[in-house]
Amino acid sequence: MTAARGPSVPGALGAIRTLAAVTWLRLLRGRALWVAILIACVPSAYASLIRGRGWGSIGDELLAFELLVTAVLAPMFVASSIGEDIEDRTATYLWSRPIPRWAVLAGKLAALVPLAAVLVLGGWAVAANIAWGTLPALATFVALALGVIAVAFVATAITCLAPRHGMALTIVYMLFVDHAVGALPAKLAEISISYQVRQLADPATGTRGALALVIVGTVWSLVALWRVRRLEA
């Protein structure tokens, strides 16, 4: 058996594409995707209960509900995928390949973040449509999409720090720490993802929230990269 020789090492982009494709395939053949779709439908069920009230009274309420879904869905995909590989030691197959470890994380995020975003944004559109018969403002979609990306980075970092409990810890962090910090009437609220998503979704507060989310996401991704370089299998 001899395989034809390729380049000395695969390009990072090629590795990311391969890993994204494998991650998708595994997800499609597993159960997590169907559970996630069910979770994404929860805001729609809630919307059908509160329909008829105007945007002013239920907009914030429904958005807060969608934020809770974001806090669960993104870690569910990202943390479980990364954590399983480390815990089950299937990461040894990846880390012994001639690819940088950041490319392994990037490959998984490239597959899972768009999927989580589609579910969150789709769920938001359907829920809003049920609640008041029209689509919500574009700013809310942008805010939620950036929120999904930021939460995915949080999940990646926490999972690299604590692979076995990555998903649970990320959900706990998002639901109890991030939301609590975001509710503080102080500057500290600026580091809260949920706070920034709410700010960004409100046209009156401008786009400063986008920059804040990028900064928060970058900090968490740096933590993940620092940690994954040091992890041993």
Partner 1 sequence: MSEPHVVVADRCSKWYGQVLGLSDVSWTLRGGIVGLLGPNGAGKSTLMKLMAGLLRPSRGTLTVYGRSPFDDVEVRRRIGYAPEHEKTWDELTALELVTAMARLAGVPAARAPLAAEAALEAMGMADALHRRVRGFSKGMRQRTKLASAIAHDPDFLLLDEPLTGVDPIARIDIVARIRALAEAGKTIVVSSHVLYEIEALTSEIVVIYRGQVLAEGNVYEIRRLIDRHPHRIRIECDQPRVVAAAIAAEDHVARIVFERQGVLIETRDPDRCYDQLAEIVLAREVVVSSLSSPDNNLGAVFEYLTGDGGRR
Site residues (vs partner 1, CB under 8 A): 1-10, 14-15, 18-19, 21-22, 25-26, 29-30, 88-90, 92-100, 232-233
* Least spacing, CB of residue 175 vs partner 1, in Å: 29
* Least spacing, CB of residue 192 vs partner 1, in Å: 35
As given in the structure block, the two tokens for residue 46 are: 């809630």
Say how far apart CA 80 and CA 154 lie, in whole Å.
13
* Least spacing, CB of residue 200 vs partner 1, in Å: 37
**Residue nearer to partner 1 on the CB measure, 133 or 232:** 232
**Residue nearer to partner 1 on the CB measure, 2 or 57:** 2
Local structure of 82: helix, strand or coil: helix
**Residue nearer to partner 1 on the CB measure, 93 or 176:** 93
* Least spacing, CB of residue 77 vs partner 1, in Å: 15
**Residue nearer to partner 1 on the CB measure, 10 or 114:** 10
Say how far apart CA 181 and CA 192 lie, in whole Å.
6
Local structure of 8: helix, strand or coil: coil
* Least spacing, CB of residue 159 vs partner 1, in Å: 17
**Residue nearer to partner 1 on the CB measure, 201 or 228:** 228
Residue 217, burial from CB neighbour count under 10 angstroms (0-12, 13-18, 19+): buried
Taking CA atoms, 145 is separated from 19, 57, 99, 114, in Å, by 22, 23, 29, 9
* Least spacing, CB of residue 9 vs partner 1, in Å: 5
**Residue nearer to partner 1 on the CB measure, 9 or 222:** 9
Residue 56, burial from CB neighbour count under 10 angstroms (0-12, 13-18, 19+): exposed
Say how far apart CA 209 and CA 196 lie, in whole Å.
5
